[in-house]
Amino acid sequence: MIPRLLYLVSHPIQYQAPLLRLIAADSGLHLRVLFERVDTVAGYHDPGFGTHVRWDVPLRDGYDNIALAETDLAAEIAAADVIWLHGWASPVMRRTLRLAARLGKPVLMRAENWDGAMPDGIGPRGWLKRLYLRWIFARCRGFLAIGSANGAYYRRFGINDDRIITMPYAVDNAFFAAHAAQADTASLRHELGIEPEQQVILYAGKFQRRKHPEQVVAAWKSLRQPRPALLMVGDGEMRAELEAMAEPGMIFAGFRNQTQLPAFYALADVFVLPSEHEPWGLAVNEAMACGTAVVVSDQVGAAFDLVDDSTGAVFAAGDIAALTVGLAHVLDQSEIRGQAAASRIATWDFRADLAGLHKAVAHVLG
C-alpha cells in the first residue's frame, strides 16, 4: 500500500512548491498538503522587504492541497499514515502533535533550528525553552535534518542518529541554472550601468539589520581601486540608510521576483550573505545553482554544508575586515569558484530530498 503523507505547513512557499510537485509525481508516496493559510498566494505585504510581494511562480499547482479553513484537522490526520510538519511555532502545529499522538500517527519534523540561529538562552528562560522543546520532540518519531548544524541541534536534545534523516534544504536547482544560462547579462549590465568587463559583487535579499547589508557596503568600500560594482537587489527597512552610504559604483535594483533573480546571480562574480543568526540562507543555494561563488558569515546555516575555500569563503560574523579579505580572495578566482559552487550544489537537490523523505517514511512506519 502506498503511504499517505500529510504535510502541514504555514502557507504556500515559493521554494517548496516545485519540491511538492516532485513528491506528488512520485509513485511511492501519496502526498496531501494542508496549509494553515493561503491568503498570501494573491499577494501580500512582506514586512521584511517592506513592499507588496506576489510571487511570479505557481505556488499551489501540481499537487493535492487544501487550506485548513476548508477541512477538519482531526479528519485529515486520521486519514493519513504519516504526518510531516514544517516547524512547531504555531498553535495549529502543536495541536497537530497532540492529535497525532492520540490517533497513533507517526510525525516527521522538519525545521530550520540550529544553535547559532536560535540559541536556547540562559537562566530560567533557557530552561523553559528546553523543557518546551523536549515536549515537542517527544511527540516526533523522526527528524528531517536540513543540514549538519540542524542535525547537531537534534542530537543535543538526545535524539538518536537513526531518527535523524537528512533531507537537505534545497531549491529548484534546474530552474535557477536554466534561467541563468538563458539570461542576457550583457543587456542587464547595460541597463544597470555596469561596464562590460567590470566584476560584480551581489547582495540579494531583505534589507534587514539581522542580515547586515551595511557590512557588505563597508567591505566593498575597503576594496582597492578599481572596485567591482556593488549590486544591491532587494528592499526593506534599511533602504534609506544604505542609500545614504552609496558611492559611485553602487547600484540599487529594488525587489526582484523569482524568475528575475537568476539573471542577477549569473551577472555576479560573487554573492554575499553576511547575516547573523541565519537559519539557512536559501539565496546561497540559488547563487550556487547559477554558478556564482559565495561569501557568507559563519552564522549562516548553509555555510556548514555548502561553503568552503573551493566554492567561496566563510568569515566570522561581524568582522568587516575578514569579509573584505574574503571578497578580495574570492574575486581573484571567482570563475573557478563559481564552477565549483555549481558542482557542489548539484547533489544538494530535490532528488536528495525525495530520497531522504522516502527513507524517513519507511523508518517511522518500520
Per residue in 289-339, pLDDT (tens digit) is 999 999 999 999 999 999 999 999 999 999 999 999 999 999 999 999 999
C-alpha 141/C-alpha 108 separation (Å) is: 6
Residue keyed to cell 525545521: 111
| pLDDT of amino acid 81 | 98
* Cα pseudo-dihedral 110, 146, 209, 213, rounded to 10: -150
Q: To which CATH superfamily is domain 173-345 assigned?
A: Glycogen Phosphorylase B; (3.40.50.2000)
| pLDDT of amino acid 217 | 98
Neighbours of 87 (CB within 10 A): 15
Average pLDDT over residues 189-193: 97
Output the pTM of the full model: 0.96
For the chain, where are the alpha helices, taking DSSP H only? 17-25, 73-79, 91-103, 123-138, 148-156, 173-182, 185-192, 213-222, 239-244, 261-267, 282-289, 303-306, 320-332, 334-345, 350-365
Average pLDDT over residues 238-257: 97
How sure is the predictor about 263, in pLDDT bands with cuts at 50, 70 and 90? very high
Instruction: Say if residues 302 and 147 touch (Cβ distance below 8 Å).
Output: yes
Average pLDDT over residues 218-243: 97
pLDDT tens profile 268-301 = 999 999 999 999 999 999 999 999 999 999 999 9
| pLDDT of amino acid 287 | 98
Q: Please measure the distance between the N-terminal and C-terminal CA atoms of the chain and give it in whole angstroms.
A: 14
| pLDDT of amino acid 293 | 98
For domain 4-170+349-365, the CATH architecture is 3-Layer(aba) Sandwich (3.40)
| pLDDT of amino acid 222 | 97
| pLDDT of amino acid 173 | 98
Domain ranges of the chain: 4-170+349-365, 173-345
Strand, coil or helix: what is 244? helix
Average pLDDT over residues 5-25: 98
Q: In what order do the strands lie in the sheet with 293-297?
A: 250-254, 229-235, 200-206, 270-273, 293-297, 312-315
| pLDDT of amino acid 34 | 98
Going by the DSSP 8-state scheme, the letter that residue 300 receives in this structure is B
Going by the DSSP 8-state scheme, the letter that residue 10 receives in this structure is S
Neighbours of 341 (CB within 10 A): 28
| pLDDT of amino acid 275 | 98
Average pLDDT over residues 132-149: 97
| pLDDT of amino acid 297 | 98
Average pLDDT over residues 176-184: 98
| pLDDT of amino acid 52 | 93
